[in-house]
Amino acid sequence: MDLSDTIALLNIALSLELNHILPQIFYIVSQATDRVLATGYTDKDGTHWELSRDKLSRVMAGRKRCIICAKQSILKTMLSPLCESKEGCLMRLKNRRDGTLSFLHEDTASLMGAAWIEPIGLCAPCTRLHTDICNEERRKCWERLAHIFGLVLEVVRPVSSRQVDNE
């Protein structure tokens, strides 16, 4: 699916009141380019899809909050207690942190995981530690997606077997 198609997906989900999938759709829409978000797009059937001003504001604000939320792990420069190269790992973590801070506002794929860790060349214990930290921060962000995009969703409680037996 082309990311521009997600604008149609969001509009359809809103019109069908598929509220339970809106946080994930808002996140996917936020991955589209600024141009597509601002102007919309025309699908192959000739239908023009665009975001309302309110939805565009929600997507842009949510994108910014996702980036900040997900990058918490990159800001951490702690070393594993089992670090095999304290000076090297610390230098690599600080370089990655500083480099990330310089383009933080441009990174739309903010919740995509810990793929950044292995290429920077940390020792194995520090790689494991920072992969765990990154995955935990990412999990927290995913759990907060509705809040991040300013959505108020009704919480549906599962029916227990005890409730069914009493009816």
- State whether the Cα torsion 119-125-130-135 is positive or negative: positive
Is 166 part of a structural domain of the chain? Answer: no
Q: How confident is the model at residue 5 (pLDDT cuts 50, 70, 90)?
A: confident
Residue 34, pLDDT > 70, answer yes
How sure is the predictor about 29, in pLDDT bands with cuts at 50, 70 and 90? very high
Question: 81-115: per-residue pLDDT in tens?
Answer: 999 999 999 999 888 888 776 665 555 555 667 77
- Count of domains in the chain? 2
pLDDT reading at 67 higher than 60: yes
96 neighbors 74 (Cβ within 8 angstroms): yes
For residue 76, the enclosing domain spans 69-143
Q: What's the pTM value of the predicted model, to 2 decimals?
A: 0.74
C-alpha to C-alpha distance for 23 and 90, rounded to whole angstroms: 36
Same domain for 38 and 80, yes or no, is: no
Same-domain check for residues 135 and 74: yes
Q: Are residues 62 and 73 in the same domain?
A: no
Together in a domain, 47 and 74: no
Type of residue found at 33: T
